[in-house]
Amino acid sequence: MDTKNYKSYNDTIMERFSCRSFLPQKITQNELQEVLKAGILAPIAVNFQPERIIVVENEALLEKMKEATRFTFDAKTILVVCYDKNVSWHRKSDGKDHGDIDATIVATQMMLEATTLGLGTCFVCSFKEEILRNILDIPENYGVTCMLPIGYPKEVLPHGPRIDIEDIVIYK
């Protein structure tokens, strides 16, 4: 392995932050494809691959999406991460649909890949779903998990304070 340009997974995790301010230029199609590839390689329940990712780059739609949320941060690309309820795995013991979990894992991998490419993202789940569905013509059988505004960050911010690991992890 060529370690000269190697970035560890931990480095990426430490560098990722919730970007709320983007430069006005769009990301490249190559960068977008790398981010999307990372998403579809996500480890998900039974590998059913229910994720459906809506890439929004159309300026009129991006502007209209502000009716559904104030958290677009004027990004020139927004990924709307959904899952197909007809495809997602349902746990046999209680019928729990794992599509939302799968979509979240996909979004996480895309955020981490974006970070390795020098891009910023923000995991947004504060939106009016019905308005977003209407704007983007999202099918009823799709669960809408989150939006990922993505772009070149105006500034890089450190993580906020974190709770001590001893207050989170329980050993038995």
Q: At what angle do helices 99-116 and 29-40 cross, to 10 degrees?
A: 140
Fold of 23-153: NADH Oxidase (3.40.109)
pLDDT of residue 88 exceeding 70: yes
What's the pLDDT at 166? 95
Mean pLDDT of the chain: 94
What's the pLDDT at 1? 47
What's the pLDDT at 158? 77
What's the pLDDT at 3? 53
User: What tens digit of pLDDT does each residue of 18-52 get?
Assistant: 999 999 999 999 999 999 999 999 999 999 999 99
What's the pLDDT at 61? 98
What's the pLDDT at 81? 98
b/e for 102-118, b at 16 or more Cβ within 10 A? bbbbbbbbbbbbbbbbe
Contacts of 89 (CB under 8 A, 6+ apart): 45, 46, 48, 50, 97, 98, 99, 102
pLDDT of residue 85 exceeding 70: yes
Question: Which of 10-14, 15-19, 136-140 has the weakest average pLDDT?
Answer: 10-14
Domain ranges of the chain: 23-153
Name 124's bridge partners.
Answer: 147
